Every structure is written in C-alpha cells, then in structure tokens.
Amino acid sequence: MVPADYWRGRLRQDRPGGAAYNSAAMQFALYFSTAPAPEKLTREQLERLLPVRFSSEKDALHGAALVIRGGQHPWLIEGPGVRLEAQEIAQRCAALLRLVSR
C-alpha cells in the first residue's frame, strides 16, 4: 500500500488511454469509517484511514452525505482553509439527506 502523501502533487500518467491528471487539484480530503468519530480526533487516528480526495468542499460534502446514507460515519473534511469535524459535517449534510430521503 502506498501512502496518500506519495501521490500528493504528482502528475500521474498511468490512467487508461495515457490521460494524465494532476492529483494536486484534489485538495479536499474526506476521512470516514464504519465506527463513529472519536470525541477528540488526533492525527494518529486519521493516519489509519485512507482519505478520499475531492476537488471542492461541495463535492466532499456530497461524498460525506453518501457515506452517511451508506451507514458509515464521516470523521473529517479538510482542505485549504477548511476543517469540518463530524458534527459540522452532519449538520451541513442534513438538508441534502432530507432531500434524497423523500
């Protein structure tokens, strides 16, 4: 397994058809787990999780809503100037979840 930090900022050429993408554009990370987030979140706990990367905060929140809908627990969304912990993610996803549960 290769740590996520290895790919950060690298231009990869191994996509189908030789198309390249810049992983640095995926600046927002969503961390989630099958277990609820702990009260006090530490970097060590996050390092055990594999982040899912998104290009915007809005996309990361959409991903978090899908995680919640799937029965799992978002722990953290972080990116440039953004750090949303579990409670705030749940609050911000509530409207979207109500919309899709109709």
> What percent of the chain is modeled with pLDDT above 90?
68
Q: How confident is the model at residue 101 (pLDDT cuts 50, 70, 90)?
A: confident
Q: Is the model's pTM score more than 0.85?
A: no
21 to 7, 27, 35: CA distances (angstroms): 11, 13, 32
- Whether 5 is covered by a domain: the verdict is no
Instruction: Output the 3-class SS for 79-90.
Output: ECCEEEEHHHHH
Q: What is the pLDDT of residues 18-63, one digit of tens each?
A: 555 556 678 999 999 999 999 999 999 999 999 999 999 999 999 9
Q: Which domain holds residue 67?
A: 38-102
Domain count, the chain: 1
Range 88-98 average pLDDT: 94
- What is the model's pLDDT at position 25? 79
- Whether 22 is covered by a domain: the verdict is no
- Whether 47 is covered by a domain: the verdict is yes
Instruction: Output the 3-class SS for 30-44.
Output: EEEECCCCCCCCCHH
Nearest to 67 by CA among 29, 40, 100, 33: 33
- Whether 51 is covered by a domain: the verdict is yes
- Whether 7 is covered by a domain: the verdict is no
